[in-house]
Amino acid sequence: MAEHDDTVVHEADGIQELDNQLPRWWLLLFYITIVIAILYMGFFHVLGLGKGQHARYAAEVARAEARLADRRARETEEIDYSTPNFETAVLDRGKEIFNANCASCHHATGRGFIGPNLTDAYWIHGATFDDTMHVIAEGVLEKGMAAWKNQLSPDQRYAVASYIYSLRGSNPDSPRAPEGEFVQGSDSPEWR
């Protein structure tokens, strides 16, 4: 039989179905996929020799969790979170995170907008570095500040807190009115 036959086998609503054979390359590819499917089913499902998708997924998740735990352990070992770090790289990273997440409430200069002024000597939730780290991690939900412990790593929170400390005493234009308690000397660069 010829590869192309223009004999009309069926016609409906002006649409004609011709009696053509499929190309040999297409048939060969079709038969190869059938053979591969049979081999795959026998190898993975009948004999159970290969790792299935669920086992491979579980192994990959376990490897990722181990890498994450290792990275977190290294982060907490390398950094002392009790005092601010004023190195340029840390402050630049903190500024970038602050501008992306905090500036909408505290303004890019820290002068306060919806949130309180971070540049003056008045502090609502404590003026120590540990207090700042705690407020960033836990937030102040009753005042609308979100907790950042699930969105930012400890290293990122540390960089933001260090950047906030670097803003103290910077005297930006049009600061928000003081809120909280006055902390003696916290507006001077030496207090940092």
pLDDT digits (tens, 9 = 90+) for 44-80: 888 877 777 788 899 999 999 999 888 877 766 666 7
CATH class of 88-191: mainly alpha
Map out the domains of the chain as residue ranges: 8-46, 88-191
| Gap between the Cα atoms of 87 and 150, Å rounded | 25
Looking at beta carbons, which pairs linking 62-67 to residues 24 or more positions away fall under 8 Å? none
- Yes or no: say if 85 and 162 are a contact pair by the CB < 8 Å rule: yes
Q: Which helix (H) or strand (E) holds 65?
A: helix 53-78
Kindly report the pTM of this predicted structure.
0.59
Low-confidence ranges of the chain (pLDDT < 70): 1-6, 75-79, 185-192
Q: Which long-range contacts (CB under 8 A, 24 or more apart) does 22-30 make?
A: none
pLDDT at residue 101, as a whole number: 93
